[in-house]
Amino acid sequence: MPKTSSLQVQGRDRAGKGAARATRRNGLVPAVIYGGSQEATLIALEPKTLVALMHDPAFKTNIFEVEIAGKKQRTMAMDVQLDPVSDRPIHADFRRIEKDTLVRVPVPVRFHNESASPGIKVGGVLNIVRHDVEVRGKPDDLPDHIDIDLTGLEIGDSVHINAVTLPNGVKPTIARNFTICTIAPPTVMAVEEEKPAAAAAADGAAAPAAGAAAPAAGAAGAAGAKPAAGAAAPAAGAKPAAKK
C-alpha cells in the first residue's frame, strides 16, 4: 500500500512564467495540482521539502494530502522539472486523485537474498535490467515497491515480470513478459579464457618467424664461404707482384 503523508504548501494567485519566476525569487518552488472534477490549483512549496521527498524511491507512488483554503486534496507527484545546471527543482506537477482515478507510475524494485543465490556464490553477477516497473492502477491499490527473491538462482537464470505477484487491479503497462534481472557469468572467467587464446596466437606467430630465421643463417654462411678452389688459385706461372 502507498504511504500517505501531509504536505505543507502555499497558494498562488497568478499563473504564467513571470509569476513562476517571482515565486522562485521568494525562495519557493512553483507547482500546480490538476485533474479530477476541479480546476487546476496553483501552489508553492519549500525546495528543501520537495528535495527530501524526491529522495524517497517511492516518491511517485506516495499519496500527499494538501490543505488549501481549509480543504484537503489527495494528490500524487507526477513530474518535477530540474534546472539543467544546478539540478534544483524549478517546477512540480501534482495530480489530484479521487476514488476511481487510474494512474501510471513507476514502482521501485528491491532485490533480496543475494547470499542465497548459488550463482552469485560462485562469482556470478546480479544484472539488474529494470530498477523500477511502470504499472497502472488505482492509487490506493498500488504497491510502494516490488520484491524480487534471488534464492536458488543459478548463473544464466533470469526473473521475468510474470513471476511477480501484483495486487488485484494493478497491471504492468508493458504487455510482454519482460526481464527484470538475470544472473550473469563472472567476468573473471572470460578473462581467464582469453589468456590461453592469446598465448596460442603468440606461439603460432613465433613459429614461422623461427623457421624464417634458418634460411637467413644459411644465406649468411653462403656469403661467408670461401671462393671456389679454381677461382682462388693464381694463374700458373704468374709471378708475385714486385715490392717497391
Give the cell for residue 194: 582469453
Domains of the chain (ranges, CATH numbers): 1-101 (2.40.240.10), 102-199 (2.170.120.20)
Please report the pLDDT score of residue 218 as a whole number: 45
CA dist., res. 13 & res. 69, Å (int): 12
Q: What is the pLDDT of residues 104-130, one digit of tens each?
A: 999 999 999 999 999 999 999 999 999
Q: What is the pLDDT of residues 4-29, one digit of tens each?
A: 888 889 888 888 888 889 999 999 99
Q: Are 95 and 35 in contact (CB under 8 A)?
A: yes
Q: What is the pLDDT of residues 208-231, one digit of tens each?
A: 544 444 444 444 444 444 444 444
Q: How far is CA 136 from CA 125, 128, 214, in A?
A: 31, 22, 77
> Helices marked H in the chain — which ranges?
17-25, 47-54, 118-121, 187-223, 229-232
CA dist., res. 183 & res. 162, Å (int): 17
Q: What is the pTM of this model?
A: 0.66
CA dist., res. 63 & res. 76, Å (int): 5
Please report the pLDDT score of residue 200 as a whole number: 55
